[in-house]
Amino acid sequence: MAIRYPNGKKYSETVNRSKPKNQTFGNRGMTLEEDLNDTNAYYLSRGIAVIHKKPTPLQIVQVDYPKRSAAVIKEAYFKQASTTDYNGVYRGRHIDFEAKETKNKTSFPLQNFHLHQIEHMKQVLDQKGICFIILRFTVLDEIYYLNAEHLIEFYENQKDHRKSIRKEEIAELGYLIEQAYHPRIDYLKVVDKLYFEK
């Protein structure tokens, strides 16, 4: 009999049931995007928040039809510059954030962000939206929440200063997100702490 998890993934019979107490749920081969999508599905299924990944706007130019029932996109272009990866609503507030990964252990390169994303984050903040970034240091398997205000400041000062944000600065200004099974990356705990707890 095939057993599947609620997300449709197949259950593995080789799962070690005697896991050590200090084992983390990191390094499972999942990308940050997959983990966040699973987290957002968890929030949605429990009525906690409605947050989705924005689709990338593409203009399809050429499609081949190798057989009648299938189509293969051969050429497509971005219609416009994308803004941030995720947005939605939580406790009556607009949520908007970008998610990035790096293999670097000591800093996060600012070249991973683009001017149109920074401008979008400023506009969200001007409208009193909750805006932040989620950064994963993949080698260290650490995930941080950093408010958009800090990213904007680092981005705008990079001409005179560093072209990256040091990990120590991220740890000092941001919040380490503990990884778990459900939800995998519970970033709303940080949002609660910053915006909803008196």
Does the model's pTM come out above 0.85? no
Structure tokens given for 107: 């800093």
Give the C-alpha separation, 144 to 137, whole Å. Answer: 8
Query: What length does the chain have?
Result: 198
In the chain, the domains with their CATH numbers are 49-55+81-196 (3.40.1350.10)
Query: What is the pLDDT tens value at each position of the chain, 198 positions in all?
Result: 444 445 455 444 333 333 333 333 333 446 899 999 999 999 999 999 999 998 665 566 677 777 767 777 777 665 556 678 899 999 999 999 999 999 999 999 999 899 999 999 999 999 999 999 999 999 999 999 999 999 999 999 887 778 999 999 999 999 999 999 889 999 999 999 999 987
Q: In Å, what is the CA distance from 49 to each residue of 88, 132, 197?
A: 8, 16, 17
